[in-house]
Amino acid sequence: MPNFLPINTILVPQGAEYKAVCRGLSGITASIPTIVAIPVGMKPLLKYLQQGQFLTPKSRVLIMGICGSLSDRYTVGDIVLYQNCVYQGKQQECDHTFTAQLHSSLSEKVSLVKSLTSDRVIWSAPEKRRLGETLAADVVDMEGFTALEFFNAARVSVAMLRVVSDDCQHNIPDLTPAINSDGCLNPFILAIVMLRQPLAATRLIRGSLTALKVLEQVTNLLFSGSSNK
């Protein structure tokens, strides 16, 4: 086995999250999975997956990245492992065996959570708390449900490991207008959005940097531990 799980492919949102995972794997001497940068958002991701070559039977896909907290229990820098994702009343499950193996290898550092996938950035603290309470979800992202629906239909095992980058106590800037239809961030619109809300922007940047550092560390931990298991 190339690594103890074994994981064939890591999917991670393009940009800073992808770079953090690559840094985490950079010093690993054992065999490592293929790392694929994916677009941000549900529609761009679905389009990308439909074009991709991810449908090898018995493959295992690990989705990594950052997420937002919908609960007081989870704060910036916390590592979370998804049990499932909900979107508009529907639910998709992560692979139980795969998730349990990841949980056992990271048990002291990771929490099992329920996730909400959103087609826009959930930026306001009151909305985050309301969604967390009404949907019994712990965290939110913009890709999870789409990925699970796609891979579950293809019978590809999926687990999701993310790091919290923003809590549910503070607003962050609404980055939705800065996400292009192809799932890339528009730097010009992003800059305008951030400048309009400097305090929220500063908080988002600080939280993201913390989360990205943890993402790098947990990637390294997961795969550096694999050679001696």
Give 54-85 as a DSSP string: ---TT-EEEEEEEEEE-STT--TT-EEEEEEE
Mean pLDDT confidence for 148-158? 94
Q: Show the CA angle centred on residue 70, arms to residues 69 and 73, nearest 5°.
A: 75
pLDDT band at 225 (very low <50, low <70, confident <90, very high): low
Mean pLDDT confidence for 103-116? 92
pLDDT band at 59 (very low <50, low <70, confident <90, very high): confident
Secondary element (H or E) of residue 99:
helix 96-105
In this structure, what is the dihedral angle of CA atoms 106, 61, 159, 116, given to the nearest 10 degrees?
Answer: 130
DSSP 26-38: TT--S---EEEEE
Q: Please say whether the beta carbons of 216 and 101 come within 8 A.
A: no
Mean pLDDT confidence for 142-158? 95
Secondary element (H or E) of residue 205:
helix 198-224
Q: Choose between 115 and 32: higher pLDDT.
A: 115
In this structure, what is the dihedral angle of CA atoms 141, 121, 136, 218, given to the nearest 10 degrees?
Answer: 30
pLDDT band at 228 (very low <50, low <70, confident <90, very high): very low
Query: In the chain, what is the straight-line distance between the N-terminal and C-terminal CA atoms, in Å?
Result: 11
198, two tokens: 């400097």
Q: What is the chain's mean pLDDT, rounded?
A: 92
- What is the distance between the alpha carbons of residues 74 and 167, in angstroms, rounded to a whole number? 7
